[in-house]
Amino acid sequence: MTKEDLEVNIYDISSTGHLARAVWIRDNFLLSSPLHLRMQFGIYIALELRNAIERLLFEYLVLINGDSFSRAC
């Protein structure tokens, strides 16, 4: 994912969007930052991964239960 791709998809709430942002943060900041910034970026990566898992589970539930589940949420 390039910087331009991130700017276009920064508000993508799909599970793949969250995962792509976590990988982008890891590739661009985590490996080249001082130690005190690595911890902050690690928190953002963990948040994006958690959001990716939650969104994936939600998409799975919508797929299994149909459109009635998505209207209830």
Tokens standing for residue 67: 């459109």
- Cα separation, 28 vs 52, whole angstroms: 19
**What is the four-CA torsion angle of 44, 46, 50, 51, rounded to 10 degrees?**
20
Q: Which two tokens stand for residue 10?
A: 């920064």
One pLDDT digit (tens) per residue for the chain, 73 residues = 566 665 656 677 788 888 888 888 888 777 676 877 778 888 888 999 999 999 999 888 888 887 665 565 5
C-alpha–C-alpha distance, residues 46 and 30, integer Å: 12
